[in-house]
A and B are shown apart, each in its own frame.
Chain A
Amino acid sequence: MPNIQFQLNGAAAAVDADPDQTLLEVLRGRLGVTSPHFGCGAGECGACYVMVGDRAVTSCDMPMWSVAGKDIVTVEGLGTAEQPHPLQRAFISEQAMQCGYCVSGILVSAAALLKRNPSPTEGEVRAALDRNLCRCGSHNRMVRAVLRAALEMAAP
């Protein structure tokens, strides 16, 4: 099996993996990175999003051969309880979830959006999150949380 090297949450990562295996399986099964969740396996729900550069991409259908040399960020790399990302702080402030299974994918989508567009409108936030499904109906809280994080990040 080829050795595939990439950046994961700011550190070098290398795994011997079947090139056709998905990034989601490798992250969860081999590397113990559990924030990207399996939801559908077809790139339709967004629960498995990881950030590549300034884009949220589905990891459930991303083959390992395409990961070589990429810079991958998951929620584990966004921030910690001690040093939270503004989005993590805002999701707590807004109590922006019910079950929370979709939340890591949504944090990734939102983080990618704020990289591309640091001061989005509400409509832009909704459009950016449209590929993430939430079944509990916590959408409006999540949108508020993203806007709150954007404001905080813009503050001098």
Chain B
Amino acid sequence: MTTPSPAPKLPVSLAANPKLSSWVRITDEGHVAISPGKVEIGQGIVTALAQIAADELDVEIIRIEMIRASTATSPNEGVTSGSLSVQQSGRALRHVCAEVRQLFLAAASERLGVDPSQLDVDDGTISGPGNVRTSYWELAGEVSLDHDATAGAAAKIAAKRAVAGHSVQRVDIPDKVFARPRFIHDRALPDILHGRVLRPDVSGARLIVLNEAAARAVPGLVAIVRDGNFGGVVADSVAAAEAALKALRKGAAWSGGEPLPNEDDLAGFLKSQPVETTIIDTRTAATTPKPAQTLRRQYTRPYIAHASIAPSCAMAQWDDDRVHVWTHSQGVYLLRADLAIVLKLPAESIIVEHMEGAGCYGHNAADDVALDAVLLAKAASGRPVRVQWSRHDEMSHAPFGAAMAIEVEADLDADNDIVGWRHAIWSNGHAARPGRAAQPALLAATEIADPYPRMISSNPPAANGGGGDRNSVPLYDFPAWTITSHRLLTMPVRTSALRTLGAQGNVFAIESLLDEIAALRGEDPIEFRLRHLRDDRAKDVIRAAARRAQWKPPKQSGIGHGVGFARYKNMGAYCAAIAEIEGTDDIRVKRLTLAVDVGEAINPDGVVNQIEGGAIQATSWVLKERVRFNRARITSTSWTDYPILTFSEVPVVDVEIIQRPEIEPVGAGEAAPGPVTAAIANAVFDCLGVRVRDLPITRDKIIAAMELAS
């Protein structure tokens, strides 16, 4: 007896939003509107999705109009995060467009009297034997897309794709080069007013006095808003709003607030807090040899700011008890859910519409500023209000990437082979995004008169790649391990998702200790890794990076090389990085060589761009970045106090893609930072003979490590 093969399933985003017309519409003569639920955050996703649609529909990419996500019209695809957009939106669109093409072929077959198998589509024109022809646009009135997708439609095989898999120019770049307004910051609505919010320097402080007299005297002031500890101004120009805010600030007195930890002992702080402990994974060996020695190491990373170049911005406009919000949030539906809680309105009364912002690299203040705009717009008598945060607010009130302390213990046998491995993480949770809980995650929700508590960050489940524990389970074949995550239940420094969540810290820890053990054994660190890997795709990226970097170049004084590897979330993109650095006590990263495997690379140049960007941003994190604070407030509130890598400091970045068109694509945006962090740290050891286990790797840390070693 044969068992029937399981019924084909719809891609996850499509199963949640099955109606074809919510994804694709044949619009006016010669155009196709594609409406994904994912949003552009500078990663090029809109172009990659347009490529997929163009391919399956057989239309030129120029005919495709990509519709910005809105809760009024778009499929609900949750949040644009986790390097999942190509996987989720891309798969859904591929399926939808294949089915739409089939429907049009069936209609054309009927009209032309030709079997569908004899019809071809070329740029939307359908033709068959005897020069019979019609088009998507002629047939648009006859083909209804207002029904649900079926599981049967088959997308093209890889070899038949003409657009996906090839580098195409991004659809958004011409606007950005020719100064055509595209960012929310540049698209002020007619009749707009400007709002600014008053916030305390001390997180959680209470507004006990607010003298409004001076602010009321500012010409152009429209309203002063006060709701508990939330205060702000609305004015008819940016200058008036800022002048009124300045006056209001002088009239404000604050009290209390939450003290901050000691920034010079983050590990001590993290390990002394109440925690929720989870065993992430264990592996037990059949026999447990007694270790000859155990290496114990602690790795730390500081809080890291998203530090978008653009301060967060939003617009809101009330119409009776309905509100329309324009936002660069990564999740329009999730933001709407939180707004509905705070405003005590049904979600249907709120439209949240996406407009592009600058790169956010995770959950920054995009959602917070949307609630600010909504609250201030209540005082604007139906006029739209635009709120833009200051640089200071962006660097002090937006969530940060969580600090981490990671202890790794490796049991070694007499040959210094690994026989046991324990990895323990202390960190706040890495996600406090809106729309996922019964309480809102938005900053102003903690400030209003009837406040919600600050949401304590949690960690996504392991099936979604985990949070603080992301990439903590080794891909190597160690015989035994225990991986433990301690999530803090207090959160004096506000944290949420930053690019890679915990993966940067965990990969740094694992790959640093592996390097140390390889050195102890006198074994080449690449050979050591290859010997402990069983996955050929993993080995291939390491070999490709090694080949490309001519591993290992002969030892030169003042130059060091190091390697790092990870598969993002242990189920996404494979990436290996080799760093070349130079220096004595102050180091410079000269070159990063990376190899990456994302399966099918839809837009190879887009993948290279994402890998380059992730590598350079990680270099900045590793060499320079650390949120600074005293016991009362965040102090790194400007670019002077929070420097990032500059043009002269940026290394050469050389990327090789291993293209695998037959394998489902995965995202590229978060593959590089972990491996690059480890590669730089390992290159520092190669160059200077010291291990720096406390990020960032600054001159002071190197000198401290040298003193410790001597």
Contact = CB atoms under 8 A, between A and B. Distances in A.
Interface residues of B, number: 56
Given A18-B239, A40-B639, A140-B652, A101 B310 contact: yes
B650 A139 contact: yes
Residue among B172, B237, B356, B609 with most chain A CB within 10 A:
B609
Contacts of A91: 173, 177
Nearest to A91: B177
Contact of A102 (B177, B179, B309, B617): B309
Nearest to B172: A100
A34 B178 CA distance: 11
B638 A44 contact: yes
Contacts, number: 162
A92 B614 contact: no
Contact of A76 (B179, B610, B639): B179
Contact of A80 (B178, B186, B639): B178
Nearest to A127: B648
Interface string A64-101: 00000000001110011100100010011001011111
Contacts of A101: 42, 183, 185, 308-310, 357-359
Contacts of B652: 140
A98 B44 contact: yes
A130 B178 contact: no
Interface string B157-192: 000000000000110111011110111011000000
A74 B179 contact: yes
Given A25-B238, A39-B309, A136-B613, A98 B639 contact: no
A140 B653 contact: yes
Contacts of A28: 186, 238
B615 to A, nearest CB: 7
A104 B179 contact: yes
B609 A92 contact: no
Contact of A45 (B172, B173, B610, B639): B639
Interface string B183-224: 101100000000000000000000000000000000000000
B309 A98 contact: no
Interface in B337-388: 356-359, 361, 388
Contacts of B308: 101, 135
Given A25-B238, A41-B390, A98 B646 contact: no
B407 to A, nearest CB: 31
B190 to A, nearest CB: 12
B694 interface: no
A126 B648 contact: yes
A3 to B, nearest CB: 18
Contacts of B182: 100
Centre residue among B388, B639, B646, B647 by max chain A CB count within 10 A: B647
A133 interface: yes
B612 interface: yes
Interface string B476-496: 000000000000000000000
Contacts of A142: 647
A37 B185 contact: yes
A17 to B, nearest CB: 10
Contacts of A102: 309, 358
A150 interface: no
Nearest to A93: B169
Interface string A27-40: 01100001101111
Instruction: Tell me which of A84, A130, A132, A137 has the highest count of chain B C-beta atoms within 10 A of its own C-beta.
Output: A137
Contact of A133 (B237, B309, B361): B309
30 contacts: A18-B239, A34-B179, A34-B186, A37-B183, A37-B310, A38-B311, A38-B388, A39-B391, A44-B638, A75-B179, A76-B179, A81-B178, A84-B177, A88-B177, A92-B169, A95-B169, A95-B173, A97-B176, A99-B41, A99-B358, A101-B42, A104-B179, A126-B650, A129-B647, A132-B647, A134-B647, A138-B613, A139-B616, A141-B609, A141-B612
Interface of A: 18, 21, 25, 28-29, 34-35, 37-42, 44-45, 47, 74-76, 79-81, 84, 88, 91-92, 95, 97-104, 107, 123, 125-127, 129-130, 132-143
Interface of B: 41-44, 169-170, 172-174, 176-179, 181-183, 185-186, 237-239, 307-311, 356-359, 361, 388, 390-391, 605-606, 609-610, 612-617, 620, 638-640, 644-648, 650, 652-653
Given A34-B181, A84-B177, 19 more contacts: A29-B237, A44-B638, A75-B179, A92-B173, A95-B169, A98-B44, A98-B610, A99-B358, A100-B173, A100-B182, A101-B357, A104-B179, A130-B648, A134-B309, A135-B307, A135-B358, A137-B613, A137-B650, A140-B653
